[in-house]
Structure 1
Amino acid sequence: MSILLSHPTKKIKASIELTSSKSESNRVLIIQAILNNAFTISNLSDSNDTKILINLLKSKNSGLDVGHAGTTMRFLTAFFASQQRDVTITGSERMQQRPIKILVEALNQLGSNISYLKKDGFPPIKINKSKKLIGGEIELDGSVSSQYISALLLVAPTFKNGLIINFIGKIVSKPYIEMTISIMRCYGADITWQENKIIVKNTAYQPKNFIVEADWSAASYWYSIAALSENASIEIIGLKENSLQGDSYVAELYKFFGVETTFTKKGIRIAKTTKIDKESIHEVNFEDFPDLAQTFAVTAAALNFSIKLTGLSTLRIKETDRISALKNELTNCGFNVAIENDDLIIFPSKNTSLVENKI
């Protein structure tokens, strides 16, 4: 089957109501579960990951299957380790290839009893009922997935001695950790971030109703539509100027593609200008917002940019190897793309036609 997407005028005018943030939803759901559903969450994400998390948090079964949901796997591992309950957690074939050893080792060091049922360091895992986690001080490589760190932080206030994380090396994906900390503070957590150390004290979360913001990651696709248009005015409802989401940086990134953002009472309005800047941008580091890399890369290629995308190492262990997938599919479309370690390099492709070069 072959599908061709096109627009007769390349002039876009629309009003869009986005899905809610999966990142915010999943973090608040863990806190809600810790508090035995003592508050309500409005505007929850309808993503599969969030639906799976909701169902498994409610489940009384001893065997849980997260499917492809990576965030759910990490968050539930830490949550059930803190709940004094026997649980087995597994997932899809791809999930069983995604590492979890760093998180498991950290939790075991803090007092849990987690073992592997197949391959060492990978799901499925067995969480054996143990006493209330003592907590304490651990060391983590700063370059690990922020999901490991967020999983530990969310349950840390329940630890008898709290939690101190000392990071070794540079910390990547900082905005996702900052989002976790901001949400925790919203519920009364006593948490301090001092350079390469995060300190969480033993405190009780306090119930508070929460409204989930729209998803900035999803907004990135509309930014790309605007960038690839000749003229665009798109209203996107539900986004905030002072967002907790690191992917709100998309508003800055897409200025290079000639897309300007204006904040309104309802959300934002994005517009295409003629200010495409190919000269001042040759390399972008995506360490702080890796989920924007795919959308940005495709847009850059389509606009014939010569650019290097760095800071992509965490994309290797997603539901697929996203770096290789980007190179493969852009190459299939006729673009000139190379991989250098964990970096993606896009070269100008003057005569590429997406009609002639089908995926």
Structure 2
Amino acid sequence: MDRVIAWDKTKIEGVAVLPASKSISNRALVLCALAGCPVPENLSDSDDTRVLREALSTSDRLVNVGHAGTAMRFLTAYFALKGGVRELTGSERMKQRPVQVLVDALRELGASIAYMGDEGFPPLWITSAPLQGGRSLSLDASVSSQYVSALMMIAPLLPGGLTLDLEERIVSAAYIRMTVGMMRLFGVDVRLEGKKIIIPEKGYIPVNLRVESDWTAASYFYEMVSIVGLGEIFISDLKKDSLQGDALQYRLWEQLGVQTEWQESGVLLRVVGENTDFFEADFTEMPDLALTFIVTCCLKDIPFHICGLETLYVKECDRVAASIRELHKLGYDLDVSVHGELSWNRERNTLISLEIDTYQDHRMAMAFAPVGLKLPGLVIRNAGVVTKSFPTFWEQLDKLLI
């Protein structure tokens, strides 16, 4: 399904309702499965969470996670711990997303995992083998924090627990801290000592948990008010002291003219500030937000230099290449002279097309949607891909803009 955007707004006012946090929901599902407690309240209705929930409750040998990268990583560790025989597979793009760092680590713990296709990539054949803990395991943390979180969550149930020594540059450390916080909620005293994570052997304690709203999804509404430059949007159930690392995005949006007013029941996004003359930021801690800021800066004609994009090459699509290609269609020429960095010096080209390809990537669709506020007639190809993380995205935008 393609979507043609024909919004004509000079001011935005209204209320947006976000989905529950996908990151918290997915971790909560695994921890509840390991603790033997009911699924959390206010669980995300995203495709990723639905796929993970179904996989955790099925006894089928074949488990297909589709495009859900988090589910692939978390289930690889979960099935290795739980035993049985599983074939874990996904979409064609999923079969191109690396998993070798995690598989190698699990094999060191005794897991029996075989590649059914290309070495280092899904699909995986996982068979019963007892896992052993009580040791220190070195792990390359420069590829994906999900490898780290997957190992962390099964670690308390290993004999002797587990210590993880993180090597190389740690990407998305905020998601590791989220996992630490949630494991502590379930009764495991995880310790962080520099680049070392110490997890004792201990059974999880069942808890009743309600999932808060998704801070990553909030970024698209910040983007809208920033691009339009006038108005305000209220979003309920967002907390300043959230476990979500993306909650810190409000500091960056202040550079793009949007301030955040903290209220008892949520936040009010308001255009009141000055825009920076040059935007510079490191997205190592918040990689899922990078695309939103890239598009916003271009539409606001603000040159930028951003880094910390190393994980974007192995997301649902190569988001660095995709953003360059799609923004070029709109007349913006970005530069990627250094791996993991992206910049724009206001270099422009002729408008080529208003049709945005999304590459089966939900964040491509949502980050580019607000472009229609400045370029009416924009077409978002395969707009339904937003169900991966935000099924009601278009409904929420229509409520604000039509």
Q: For residues 5-20 of structure 1, what are the structure 2 equivalents within 5 Å?
A: 5-8=6-9, 10-20=10-20
**Cα offset for 1:351?**
8.9
* 8 Å contact kept, 1:191–1:201: yes
Task: Quote the residue 2:331 is aligned against.
Answer: 334
* 8 Å contact kept, 1:286–1:293: yes
In 1: Cα distance, 2:68 partner to 2:349 partner: 39
Q: For residues 1-359 of structure 1, what are the structure 2 equivalents within 5 Å?
A: 3-8=4-9, 10-36=10-36, 38-134=37-133, 136-279=135-278, 281=279, 283-340=280-337, 341-349=339-347, 355=375
Q: What amino acid sits opposite 2:152 in the alignment?
A: L
**Cα offset for 1:2?**
7.8
In 2: Cα distance, 1:163 partner to 1:270 partner: 43
Aligned pair in 2 of structure 1 residues 306, 346: CA closer, same or farther (>3 Å)?
same
Task: Provide the TM-score with structure 2 as the length reference.
Answer: 0.85
Higher RCO (CA < 8 A, seq sep 6+): 2
Q: Which has the higher strand share?
A: 1
In 2: Cα distance, 1:143 partner to 1:110 partner: 21
* 8 Å contact kept, 2:276–2:302: no
* 8 Å contact kept, 2:328–2:349: no
* 8 Å contact kept, 1:236–1:267: yes
Q: SS of 1:258's equivalent?
A: strand
Q: Deviations over 1:56-110 (max 9, x none)?
A: 1111101110111000000000001110221110111111111100000000101
* 8 Å contact kept, 2:235–2:267: yes
**Cα offset for 1:211?**
0.7
Aligned pair in 2 of structure 1 residues 171, 111: CA closer, same or farther (>3 Å)?
same
Q: Deviations over 1:168-200 (max 9, x none)?
A: 233221101000000000001121110111110
* 8 Å contact kept, 1:114–1:125: yes
Aligned pair in 2 of structure 1 residues 123, 351: CA closer, same or farther (>3 Å)?
closer
**Cα offset for 1:336?**
2.1
Q: Which has the higher helix share?
A: 2
Q: SS of 2:151's equivalent?
A: helix
**Cα offset for 1:130?**
1.2
Aligned pair in 2 of structure 1 residues 222, 77: CA closer, same or farther (>3 Å)?
same
Point out 4+ residue stretches in structure 1 off by more than 3 angstroms.
Answer: 132-135, 349-359
In 1: Cα distance, 2:35 partner to 2:345 partner: 51
Aligned pair in 2 of structure 1 residues 2, 12: CA closer, same or farther (>3 Å)?
closer
Q: SS of 2:165's equivalent?
A: strand
**Aligned-pair RMSD on alpha carbons?**
1.8
In 1: Cα distance, 2:59 partner to 2:242 partner: 35
Task: Quote the residue 2:398 is aligned against.
Answer: none
Q: What amino acid sits opposite 1:146 in the alignment?
A: S
Between stretches 270-279 and 190-199, larger displacement belongs to 270-279
**Cα offset for 1:355?**
4.0
Q: Deviations over 1:188-230 (max 9, x none)?
A: 1121110111110101110110010100010000000110123
In 2: Cα distance, 1:313 partner to 1:330 partner: 19
Task: Provide the TM-score with structure 1 as the length reference.
Answer: 0.95
Q: What amino acid sits opposite 1:342 in the alignment?
A: G
Structure 2 gap ranges (5+)? 352-373, 380-402
In 1: Cα distance, 2:375 partner to 2:22 partner: 34
In 2: Cα distance, 1:133 partner to 1:237 partner: 44
Aligned pair in 2 of structure 1 residues 260, 333: CA closer, same or farther (>3 Å)?
same
Q: Deviations over 1:216-273 (max 9, x none)?
A: 0100000001101231111001101100001112111100111000111111001001
Aligned residues: 355
In 1: Cα distance, 2:227 partner to 2:348 partner: 16
**Cα offset for 1:28?**
0.5
Aligned pair in 2 of structure 1 residues 126, 300: CA closer, same or farther (>3 Å)?
same
In 1: Cα distance, 2:114 partner to 2:375 partner: 51
Q: What amino acid sits opposite 1:173 in the alignment?
A: S
Structure 1 gap ranges (5+)? none
Aligned pair in 2 of structure 1 residues 325, 351: CA closer, same or farther (>3 Å)?
closer
Aligned pair in 2 of structure 1 residues 351, 73: CA closer, same or farther (>3 Å)?
closer
* 8 Å contact kept, 1:333–1:357: no
